[in-house]
Amino acid sequence: MHVPEDLEDVIDFGDKLLSKGQFLINPISSFKIPDKISVNMHGLFFPSPIIFSSFKSHVDTLNFWLNLGAGGGCLKTITSKPRSGNDRPRICSFIQDETESLLNALGLPNPGIDQFLKKADFQPLLNANKPIGFSIAGETLEDYESMAMQICTFMDKLENKNFFLELNISCPNVNHGAPTKDLN
């Protein structure tokens, strides 16, 4: 059996390299989005229908994708309380049935909503004038309501309406997997 290789350090290294090389990468990664592919959805204007979906919150990496032509995107999932996530390895490659695969089982590591909004290091992404989403995960309907209100209040203070909320209701990488109350 092949022992899974922990790839999290490789990803962190790539993020750091991207951060240090911004002055080289930005001029060559800037992409003019064609005019006729834009999408208007629920009052938000996406200059491109291609968006990134809640895979991380590393600002330089996400800015790279916005410069490359993404029409917007969603930050990594936040919970009401801080989470360290699953034990490592939690991003690894493995071989099954002679096929190499990649497993992402982070388990929603994040600083919790209060620290996330206090630090607010995602603010440079808002300068791209492309919709940015906030992914939230909770165990109860009240968790979702509280976090949604905190984010909306925070964005109102910034006078920024160019955002959306994503409800993460079925993460397979956490024990509870879904909220304990019906969301209807």
Catalytic residue positions, numbered: 171
- Cis amide prior to 89 (ω within 30 degrees): yes
Q: How many CB atoms lie within 10 A of CB 94?
A: 15
For the record, the structure tokens of 37 come out as: 């592919």
Residue 153, judged by CB atoms within 10 A of its CB (0-12, 13-18, 19+), counts as: exposed
Quote the DSSP letter at residue 52.
B
Strand partners, 104: 91
Decide: 70 and 48 in contact? Cβ < 8 Å.
yes
